[in-house]
Structure 1
Amino acid sequence: MADNTLWVAALTAGTAVLASWVTSRGTARAARIQADAAAATVQADRLRAARRAAYVDVIEQAQRMGDLYWKVTDAHGITDAGERLGALEELRLRLRGEYAVLRQRVWVVELEGPAEVASAADRLRESTSENWRALGAMIAGEAGAAQRFDDCFPPFWESVVAFVEVARRALHETRTD
């Protein structure tokens, strides 16, 4: 009888050790899965935050340029030719500086992605080219240049709105790329 008790005790102890080992492996695996999921969530949140910041920077910069475009239209209405020319030249210098900032911010969006948002940002950047040329023509005194400049604003603003829409979709569709 004592021998059976010893075997039962040994079998029970072995079963307990095996059960403990299996449980600890399962717990460790579950903890690893949970830690990996938490890390992936943190990474996705960081990516989304970086993208959102980059997108907001482009939108803010486009708004600054749009405000200067309105000032160009106002400056063109100045009756004194010398004062008008000075105001237009000063605005052109300011726009050149603002364009440099826009270009840098578009590059950040290209870095952050995704590709469709980067393309929309680049289209926005390119939409400023005609405004720039028309402003140069206004300064040079070309006939119809002011109307050309005014006609450039709607396509520019449409590119801003298109960028906002693509960026919004990208932020809300996925958390990672």
Structure 2
Amino acid sequence: MSSQGTARAARIQAETTAAVQRADQRRTARRTAYADVIEQAQKMGDLYWKVNDAHADPDPESRTATLKDLRLRLRDAYATLRHLVRVVELEGPQEAAAAADRLRRSTSDNYQALEDMIGGEADAIQRFNECYAPFWERVVALVAIAREVLQEGAVPAPVPAPRARRPWARHRPGAGG
């Protein structure tokens, strides 16, 4: 192989290695972003369960105090979720960003129902509980989209096909010429 061919092969190998590394870095960044949103949604889901427990407290003063504490905790959890969703929007792709944003938006009805529980509305707990299923469906949808995106990203980058050899580029001894 000529030095020109060796240099070209080395360049192709370097480009391929760099492309694989970039794809791996993008996949890792996306995986981290998706996992962070899903983990934060799980934390919010745990707080939603605690709202139900607090609502069952027979002492009205204790119930209201606990619900107010949970409201603050959910507000802080939402702020974190909002930030993490922005990271997913940055990392992409659009399909995952849209799913993460739908998840974020699905929390507003829960929060409003919690506010209404604190305000003493009788049907607020029922509305709160009805909000959980749509919220969790958004979590499951994000997991499915994230899995699909990450599996697509796990496919190795294609290796460029070598160019056709030019017959005049190299003289072979004994080839008649």
| Normalised-by-shorter TM-score class | 0.7 to 0.9
Identify the residue that residue 5 of structure 1 maps to in structure 2: none
Identify the residue that residue 103 of structure 1 maps to in structure 2: 82
**Are residue 139 (structure 1) and residue 118 (structure 2) matched?**
yes
Counterpart of 2:40, as a letter, is Q
Identify the residue that residue 109 of structure 2 maps to in structure 1: 130
Paired with 2:53 and 2:76, the residues of 1 have a C-alpha distance of 20
Q: Following TM superposition, by how much is the alpha carbon of 1:49 offset from its aligned partner in structure 2, in angstroms?
A: 0.2
Paired with 1:121 and 1:95, the residues of 2 have a C-alpha distance of 17
**Are residue 149 (structure 1) and residue 145 (structure 2) matched?**
no
- Aligned to 1:62, which of 41, 52, 59? 41
Paired with 2:87 and 2:5, the residues of 1 have a C-alpha distance of 43
Paired with 2:153 and 2:91, the residues of 1 have a C-alpha distance of 14
Of all paired residues, the percent bearing the same amino acid is 62
- Write the mapping of 1:10-89 to structure 2, written as runs, cut at 5 A: 23-89=2-68
Gaps of 5+ in 2: 156-177
Q: Following TM superposition, by how much is the alpha carbon of 1:175 offset from its aligned partner in structure 2, in angstroms?
A: 5.2
The TM-score with structure 2 as length reference comes to: 0.86
Identify the residue that residue 165 of structure 1 maps to in structure 2: 144
Q: Following TM superposition, by how much is the alpha carbon of 1:40 offset from its aligned partner in structure 2, in angstroms?
A: 0.5
Higher share in helix: 1
Cα deviation 1:131-162 (Å, max 9, x = unaligned): 00000000000120000001100000000000
Cα deviation 1:74-98 (Å, max 9, x = unaligned): 0000000000000000000000000
Which structure carries more relative contact order (alpha carbon 8 Å, separation 6+)?
2
Residues 23, 153 of structure 2: 8 Å contact kept: no
Gaps of 5+ in 1: 1-21
Paired with 2:57 and 2:142, the residues of 1 have a C-alpha distance of 33
RMSD: 1.1
The runs of at least 4 aligned residues of structure 1 exceeding 4 Å deviation read none
Q: Following TM superposition, by how much is the alpha carbon of 1:174 offset from its aligned partner in structure 2, in angstroms?
A: 3.2
Counterpart of 1:37, as a letter, is T
Larger radius of gyration: 1
The TM-score with structure 1 as length reference comes to: 0.86
Paired with 1:35 and 1:100, the residues of 2 have a C-alpha distance of 43
Identify the residue that residue 90 of structure 1 maps to in structure 2: 69
- Equivalent pairs counted in the alignment come to 155
Residues 116, 124 of structure 2: 8 Å contact kept: yes
SS at match of 2:121: coil
